Chains A and B, each alone.
Chain A
Amino acid sequence: MSARGRGARNGVLKRMWRERSAYGFLAPGLILFSIFTVFALGFAFYLTFREWNILEPEKPFIGLQNYQDLVHDKDFGRSIINTAYFTGASVPLGMLVGLCVALLLNQPIRGRGLLRTLYFLPTVTPFVVAAIIWKWLYNGDFGLFNYYLLKTHLITEPLVWLSDKNLAMPAVVLMSVWTSVGFSMVVYLAALQAIPNDLYEAARIDGAGAWARLRYVTWPMLRPSTLFLMVMGIIGSFQVFTQIYIMTSGGPLNRTTTMVYYIYEAAFKFYEMGYASTLAYALFLMLLVFTALQLRLYRRADV
């Protein structure tokens, strides 16, 4: 090694020593983080090459077998479809309702604060509780939904919402929209209040009506919030679990088995940790692709 190289290295070591308190400050976070995230990521990857059943003493190396199984796994395919269905329905719906509520609540009306609180309440309800309430509302024999639909003659027979293969997913979606509207409303309200009034004045002078102002001033100004809500919404919906566990347990006929629910079953019902890790990595990969796509959108949108 050249004298200069050695000098530079000594310099780094010296600086590291001088800044040792910085490493001390980082240490607790870094240690936990290294174990529970960095190491865990590597360990999960290692697991994907093994048949790792906790009940069996042998955890054989099986090469790419888990990956092959994954490609041919019809239930996994089903879980992707279900997850896409859930995401595609609940994210836009929650955002749209949230936007409408935010637009109306941005008007100078009395009781704004109270109404805002009311619309936000479902968002602070623990998810488990929300799922329990809605499970009851959907109850086939005594649920409020059936009661009011029968009473208004919209249906003639009671519906078994959560046990009907075509109704179960829409039912879960509706419940999830209820919990998410408050969040999009608050994000949109914050963005609406940040739009400078001059823009509306200028548009008015140019003769823009209410619709034109919404279309050409408000909507473009809300773009960053829309993208943010979309990214967060998609990431969150891909991970939907609690509602499914409580309301349908993945049924009927696997119609509400989402990816995370499927991972959970593989790992903690069948104890196939290796295969479950492979599934989890597949989920990770899909989220990465989605996020990358959305970041490109972000950049193209120039925000």
Chain B
Amino acid sequence: MTATIWRRRVWLGFCYVVLVPGAILFLAPFAWLVSASFQHVGDIFSWPPQWIPKNPTLDGYKGFFGIGKAGELAQGSEGAWRWFLNSAFVAGSVTTLQLFFNSLAAYTFAKRRFPGRNLIFLVFLATMMVPPQVTLIPNYLVLKHVPFFGGNDVMGQGGHGFLDSYWGLILPGAVSAFGIFLLRQYMMSIPDELLDAARIDGAGEFRVFWKVVLPLCAPALAATAIFTFTYAWEDFLWPLIVVSSSDHYTAPLGLALFVVKNRTSWNLLMAGSVVATLPMVVVFLIFQRRFIQGISMSGLKG
């Protein structure tokens, strides 16, 4: 008996010995990021590296947001606040639109019978396989030629259309086949009798959807909302292609172009990176359970 207890203790001890140093290694890059964001430019380059800043400073943050002296970076840092607002606006809009459009479509596929349903659903399903890179180029051209926008004429010629605008950032992401599929699976489990009861009480189709089905889907909606938001917040390739003026930069785009164009101001970059990561970490810490629910929902049923 004692032998098994000892074996168990040794085993649990082994778990710690592996997991704790592992976690420290995993965390080290973050720790370095946070530490560097509070250092002077010169100290970031110091050798040996300073894990705890000897002369902590907020210069990185101030510089990044253009508070105080921005010096050589005046033009880039002037827009930094705006990049984050842009990201919040774009990610918020994409999430709201997706939740609404996806759940409307999911409800229709799950609970309504109408001619063409299976065919349309099949097309949706099939396109889940299409990698976004295939539609990247045509969508770029389509948005460029939207008539009457961005200086375009009626034929969509002459200007830049929806490119370099919030429309261009938001519209292509406003619906997702995968999101529709997930919500539909969830809605299938809601009993039809519940819906019929509401209909008998005189509720119209939209009321049934809005007052009965949606509230029951709250867990699924929350999980997909978190995913959609984080995905939209950190999307990079699409903004890189669509946006050209720094007024419309999203946070990841601004940071990335900062790296490519600017090789000296690492402290500003580190500060900006900390700020770009914070919302994600906060969302994760608050919604940890939903996050994990969402992963297992998409993972194990899909």
Contacts and interface: CB of A to CB of B under 8 A. Distances in A.
B128 to A, nearest CB: 10
Contacts of B284: 120-121, 124
A19 B255 contact: no
Interface string B78-118: 00000000000000000000001110110110001111110
Contacts of A47: 137-138
B261 to A, nearest CB: 12
B259 A190 contact: no
B300 interface: yes
**Majority SS at the chain A contact face:** helix
Given A190-B299, A277-B138, 19 more contacts: A30-B105, A36-B172, A104-B15, A107-B11, A107-B12, A108-B12, A121-B26, A125-B280, A128-B276, A186-B292, A186-B295, A187-B295, A228-B300, A238-B131, A245-B240, A246-B256, A249-B260, A268-B241, A284-B133
Interface string A98-140: 0011001101110000010111111011111111111111000
A109 B233 CA distance: 35
A29 B19 contact: no
B70 interface: no
A291 interface: yes
In this complex, the interface size class of chain B, counting residues with CB under 8 Å from chain A, is: 35 or more
Contacts of A60: none
A186 B295 CA distance: 8
A184 B132 CA distance: 23
Contacts of B114: 15-16, 19, 22-23
A284 B131 contact: yes
Given A22-B108, A268-B241, A129 B276 contact: yes
A33 interface: yes
Interface stretch (B57-65, B173-181, B190-198, B214-222): B173-181
25 contacts: A16-B115, A29-B101, A29-B104, A33-B175, A36-B171, A37-B127, A37-B130, A37-B135, A38-B123, A104-B15, A104-B19, A107-B12, A118-B27, A119-B23, A126-B233, A127-B234, A129-B273, A132-B259, A133-B30, A137-B32, A142-B47, A151-B48, A239-B132, A246-B259, A263-B136
Contact of B29 (A147, A178, A229): A178
A135 B259 contact: yes
Given A15-B115, A36-B171, A118-B23, A29 B105 contact: yes
Taking residues whose C-beta sits less than 8 angstroms from the other chain, chain A's interface range is: 35 or more
Given A33-B124, A124-B281, A125-B277, A118 B26 contact: yes
B124 A239 contact: no
Interface string B222-266: 000000001001101100110000000001110110011000001
Interface of B: 11-12, 15-16, 18-20, 22-23, 26-30, 32-33, 36, 44-45, 47-49, 100-102, 104-105, 107-108, 112-117, 120, 123-124, 127, 129-142, 171-172, 174-175, 177, 180, 205-206, 209, 230, 233-234, 236-237, 240-241, 251-253, 255-256, 259-260, 266, 269-270, 273, 276-277, 280-281, 283-285, 288, 292, 295-296, 299-300, 302
